[in-house]
Amino acid sequence: MAQIWFHAGQMMVIYIAGLNQIPAELYEAARTDGAGRGSSSGHVTWPMVAPATALVVAYTTIQSFKAFDLILGLAGNPPRASLDILSTRIYTTFANSQLGYAAAESIVFMLAIALVTWLQNRAARLTHG
């Protein structure tokens, strides 16, 4: 919840900027074609805000992987098991001189980031044609 609250303002600014980029003529054309409020929202607003959505998804994914400082600050060192994420786990195992285990966790972390990045890039390509 702290992570969501911390970034809510930034994401709102991105979405507002995306909404402000939509030309009013598109809504006029949709009304002329007989589209209602819901239909123009689904066929005009969401497709035009898709780049902002892709940016928000990428940014929040990056921030969720970088939540190390927030979790360590809120939960203490080492964090409670309920708040433990892979980056804090790597830190804890490294601090406990379990270097091989920390290295293996780091490789898994890197592979997870690479997989998520690849999936997001693939989804963005499918969305934008």
pLDDT digits (tens, 9 = 90+) for 46-94: 888 888 888 888 888 888 877 888 888 887 777 777 777 888 888 889 9
**What pTM was estimated for this model as a whole?**
0.69
Q: How confident is the model at residue 121 (pLDDT cuts 50, 70, 90)?
A: confident
pLDDT digits (tens, 9 = 90+) for 30-55: 888 888 878 888 888 888 888 888 88
In degrees rounded to 5, what are phi and psi of residue 55?
A: -65, -45
Mean of the pLDDT values across residues 20-36?
Answer: 88
Residue 98 pLDDT: 93
CA dihedral for 31, 35, 38, 41, sign (positive or negative): negative
Return the exposure string of 111-127: e unless at least 16 CB atoms fall within 10 Å of the residue's CB, then b.
Answer: eeeeeeeeeeeeebeee
